[in-house]
Structure 1
């Protein structure tokens, strides 16, 4: 397999499974974590390597290294020529993951997708039937859809993030440090903030639409993160996907290890106090865009760009927590009439929105 984002949490878990199950790692790519990358090269001996930071390229301990100047496209084409069709795990973070998803499918790779933005901003340009999702919620939905009746409604769950119990009035003064304290999952900074705002769940709703073609999608808060997805079928039955919160399970199925013992089964007594709550739209303002986004999925490109820029501003302590949802609504008001009918237009709006938010909010 090829792992894009090998130094992140998904990449590290994928390589952990490769180690445990003796799987061949053909190529590795990361943004800038030279120390981790060199350690992975030593252990897995990949044929090709990519590091986004051009200045670090000479320091990578490998003969065949690509960097940003070469282009991720050149790296993937070289992988295709050298390795052929294989599993491509795209665990890049952010908008930069879109191009590898589009090109990976064109090159015939078996795409295991952990990059949310690929579907949020570019679902219309991807053959979603050929994608295996790496996400506890979408893995849960895929698992439940095997040999089932027609769908009535898809349901995904949310933990509520770091501020589920905090007074809404106090959110404007929420600190970065507090926002990064996710109660159940160990994730990167960006996605942890997205969990605190429920933007992450908004993105997962539109991902589910692109993956499974259903627009009747809801989310409920389940604070223990033990029930990841439910499906209501037209015959009146409902199924649920239940497991401990461990991303190795979704990754294992994506790379063909679905019949192996990956994690321990959940003790069902842990389900005694499970509750499902409606998403409080006063607390999680951005999630109120769910129905509008499902009606017009293309605006995901605008929402993603605004969120990307304003979250970076929050993490660098330049803006307040409440500015995140403000910026998203602001960008939609400003750019909602922009036509998004090509990959080029998606790239263009990504830059326009980020530039606008950067100036307006001083990020």
Structure 2
């Protein structure tokens, strides 16, 4: 197995499950957290390691005697020469798109957590070959009974859920001026900085709506706020019945199913691990479950949902503008409210883009980033 983004939370959880399933780790690809990467090298003894910066070469432990590569070129080379059948793509950002494409080109099984691959390149990917490990999309697949080798049920509408992020109870008149130190205080859990900000704006859920569009071939999509983060998805079927997937917010759960599918484990074999950490029941007593609509006065970017579903190829514009804006926000260059204004300006400027290839997607991405940087300066 190859783990792209091994030092992030999904990468760390993937390695824990791999150890449980006795899966050999052929390659670890990480960024700048060399200290954690070295610990992973000692435990998993990979044949290949990829790091972001060649200048960090000397920081890799001397015990590692495999192949060492650098940057995106190194990641692509790693995928090309490896013999592993399974790739976990847990990279954050547009950086994850080309590894997704290369994994598919090499006919590897792809367990995908990199949102941007689908948000900006969904039109050019064979989504039938993707195993989603975002909890929301995994939950939809689980409810549709296609998490292993079962026929998908016909549905009428799909729903995903959101925690509401750091400002879900903040007075509306205070939100626009908030700084990064406030937005990074997620009410339910600790995540990476980028995804925590995207949770506060509701951009993360907008990305997941686009992912669901490509994965499940439907525009009948919506989202609710569920404050406990116990209900991850709901499916409304053709007969009017609705089912919900309740589970603890534990990323090991979808990761375990993805690996089980790649290993062709049966449900009985998977259930043999029932005493391990990813199997953690919810105590349903004394918990208040309530679904709340997403208020566009509080979460302005949610107002782009219908535009995105009608023009899903605009995902490249949405993502590129947001990446630059969030980076500026995290550096305290702009206040929170400017993220929406910047993304809105980019969507107005590039409203007619319809990329016809991955090459065009990447060119548009660069144009949008340049445009947004001009707005911020």
For Structure 1 versus Structure 2, the TM-score category normalised by the shorter chain is over 0.9
Separation in structure 2 between the aligned mates of residue 288 and residue 268 of structure 1, nearest angstrom? 33
Alpha-carbon distance, 1:37 to partner = 1.1
> What's the counterpart of residue 279 of structure 1?
294
Q: Unpaired runs of 5+ in structure 2?
A: 146-150
Is 2:324 aligned against 1:309?
Answer: yes
Counterparts of 1:17-166 in structure 2 under 5 Å?
17-61=17-61, 62=64, 63-68=66-71, 70-79=73-82, 83-84=83-84, 86-146=85-145, 147=151, 149-166=153-170
Farther off after superposition, 184-193 or 68-77:
68-77
Question: Residues 93 and 28 of structure 1: is their aligned pair in 2 closer, same or farther, counting only changes over 3 Å?
Answer: same
Is 2:340 aligned against 1:325?
Answer: yes
Alpha-carbon distance, 1:38 to partner = 1.2
Separation in structure 2 between the aligned mates of residue 18 and residue 69 of structure 1, nearest angstrom? 24
Alpha-carbon distance, 1:69 to partner = 7.3
Instruction: For residues 118-175 of structure 1, give each alpha carbon's deviation from its aligned partner in whole angstroms, at most 9, with x where no partner exists.
Output: 0000001111011011111111001000156411000001110010000111012212
- TM-score computed with the length of structure 1 as normaliser: 0.95
Separation in structure 2 between the aligned mates of residue 269 and residue 208 of structure 1, nearest angstrom? 31
Alpha-carbon distance, 1:60 to partner = 2.2
Matched residue SS, 1:173? coil
Instruction: For residues 241-281 of structure 1, give each alpha carbon's deviation from its aligned partner in whole angstroms, at most 9, with x where no partner exists.
Output: 0011111111111111753322211112154x111111000
8 Å CA contact 2:27, 2:78 repeated in 1: no
Structural RMSD (CA): 1.4
8 Å CA contact 1:57, 1:66 repeated in 2: no
8 Å CA contact 1:173, 1:320 repeated in 2: yes
Farther off after superposition, 256-265 or 302-311:
256-265
Q: Unpaired runs of 5+ in structure 1?
A: none
Alpha-carbon distance, 1:19 to partner = 2.7
Matched residue SS, 2:168? coil
1:268 to 270, 284, 287: 284
- TM-score computed with the length of structure 2 as normaliser: 0.92
Separation in structure 2 between the aligned mates of residue 69 and residue 122 of structure 1, nearest angstrom? 17
Is 2:172 aligned against 1:168?
Answer: yes
Separation in structure 2 between the aligned mates of residue 66 and residue 26 of structure 1, nearest angstrom? 14
Separation in structure 2 between the aligned mates of residue 225 and residue 152 of structure 1, nearest angstrom? 24
Separation in structure 2 between the aligned mates of residue 275 and residue 263 of structure 1, nearest angstrom? 24
Runs of 4+ in 1 over 6 A off after TM superposition: none
Is 2:230 aligned against 1:226?
Answer: yes
Separation in structure 2 between the aligned mates of residue 166 and residue 70 of structure 1, nearest angstrom? 44
Separation in structure 2 between the aligned mates of residue 118 and residue 332 of structure 1, nearest angstrom? 19
Question: Residues 26 and 71 of structure 1: is their aligned pair in 2 closer, same or farther, counting only changes over 3 Å?
Answer: closer
Alpha-carbon distance, 1:234 to partner = 0.3
8 Å CA contact 1:149, 1:235 repeated in 2: no
> What's the counterpart of residue 6 of structure 2?
6
Alpha-carbon distance, 1:70 to partner = 4.2
Separation in structure 1 between the aligned mates of residue 224 and residue 81 of structure 2, nearest angstrom? 43
Alpha-carbon distance, 1:18 to partner = 2.0
Question: Residues 15 and 360 of structure 1: is their aligned pair in 2 closer, same or farther, counting only changes over 3 Å?
Answer: same
Question: Residues 214 and 44 of structure 1: is their aligned pair in 2 closer, same or farther, counting only changes over 3 Å?
Answer: same
> What's the counterpart of residue 305 of structure 2?
290
Alpha-carbon distance, 1:58 to partner = 3.7
> What's the counterpart of residue 148 of structure 2?
none
Matched residue SS, 2:176? helix
